[in-house]
Chains A and B, each alone.
Chain A
Amino acid sequence: MNTPALKDWPLWEVFVRSKQGLEHKHCGSLHAADAAQALHMARDVYTRRQEGVSIWVVPSSQITASNPDDKGELFDPASDKIYRHPTFYEIPDEVGHM
């Protein structure tokens, strides 16, 4: 593989919705020159096995991520607050998938 394109082309994050009613899920990233091409390439790279009915692509540079070093203060305080989980309710069957 030649490498210049990888240097020049931005990285895109790919989200695929697997079927009607479910949300788009992050499934990976790829290099592409622009958004239209990123969509095409996402189709070929990530939906070859009938995985999707809809694709989103987002420039990776537009994602602001939490700092792994802040993991402790961000997430650990929630670990002993089990009352925040909606596990104390019975969900009626008619509600279906949540």
Chain B
Amino acid sequence: MSKAPVDYLLQLADNAVVLGQRNAEWCGHGPILEEDIALANVSLDLIGQARLLYQLAAARIGGDATEDKLAYFRDPAEFRNYTLVELPNHGALVGYAAADMDYATTIVRNFLYSALMALQWEALANSADEELAAIAAKSLKETRYHLHHAADWVVRFGDGTEESHRRAQAALDHLYRYTEEFWTPSATEDAAVAAGVAVDVRSLRAGWDALLAETLADATLVRPEVRGYVPEGKHGLHSEHLSYLLGEMQSLARAHPGATW
């Protein structure tokens, strides 16, 4: 059986765990109770995906590697997630007080990411790495729902009130440039393609563009121009925000290593 490189599994896992942690910040603070629960569900799906991937990676690393060590005892520079998923739930150029979290930013980010992952998991469900393919098949169903949920809100915000349209467009203007990272393969991604366990991510771009075009048209939102900036989160070069996110996420496990409850 072909096996995906460990670094490739970690890239998939890190994206899921970091975005799951970001979405979880809304837990108890959602705009309404029903949506609070919906977003917590998305978050738990993502953390569940990350767990499966970390478990698989740990098994392949061998020795004393565990899913918890991979999630809680690696430092920011070792994380391979896209910069997009670590950005705060805030609009551009605002403070980061909890009260200033912006739901449009959260929703537009989930939309951009889940549109990619719906295509990525679909491709990986046919991976020659059978264990990765099984995780992909499970994640695909969850991710299609996340895409549905986010796209529904993108349309409601974009085609809603003047204020909701303004915020949705601002979130898209802020976040869209970070998606350039999706389409610039890393050495790890190239290795996974060469090993026959992944598709070249660039082959997914037309499908992603079509998903965006349909929803953004319904939402009366305008796709911004990109100006050549390519983030490098998946190379371990992160924004300042990942350190704070991991600081919070990892503090308990590091204060009480090996704790169980």
Contact = CB atoms under 8 A, between A and B. Distances in A.
A48 interface: yes
B32 A1 contact: yes
A44 B35 CA distance: 8
B156 interface: yes
A9 B38 CA distance: 17
Given A30-B33, A31-B34, A40-B38, 8 more contacts: A1-B36, A2-B31, A37-B152, A40-B148, A41-B35, A44-B37, A48-B37, A48-B41
Contact of B33 (A1, A33, A48): A1
Q: Name the interface size band of chain A.
A: 10 to 19
9 contacts: A1-B33, A1-B36, A2-B32, A5-B31, A31-B33, A40-B38, A40-B152, A41-B38, A45-B38
Q: Name the interface size band of chain B.
A: 10 to 19
A31 B37 CA distance: 13
B30 interface: yes
A5 B149 contact: no
A16 interface: no
Interface string A25-55: 0000011110011001100110010000000
Contacts of A33: 156
Nearest to B145: A43
Interface of A: 1-2, 5-6, 9, 30-33, 36-37, 40-41, 44-45, 48
Contacts of B32: 1-2, 5-6, 9, 31
Interface string B1-45: 000000000000000000000000000001111111110010000
A48 B34 CA distance: 12
- The 5 closest A-B CB pairs, nearest first, are A44-B38, A41-B34, A5-B32, A30-B34, A44-B41
Contacts of B30: 1
Contact of A44 (B31, B34, B152, B156): B34
A62 B134 CA distance: 45
Contacts of B35: 41
Nearest to B41: A44
A32 B41 contact: no
Interface string B29-64: 011111111100100000000000000000000000
A41 B32 CA distance: 11
A82 to B, nearest CB: 44
B254 to A, nearest CB: 30
B34 A32 contact: yes
Interface in B121-163: 148-149, 152, 156
Nearest to A42: B34
Contacts of A1: 30-33, 36
A30 B34 CA distance: 7
A98 B65 CA distance: 54
Contacts of B38: 40-41, 44-45
B155 to A, nearest CB: 11
A37 B32 CA distance: 13
Nearest to B32: A5
A9 B34 CA distance: 12
Contacts of A30: 33-34
Contacts of B36: 1
Contacts of B41: 44, 48
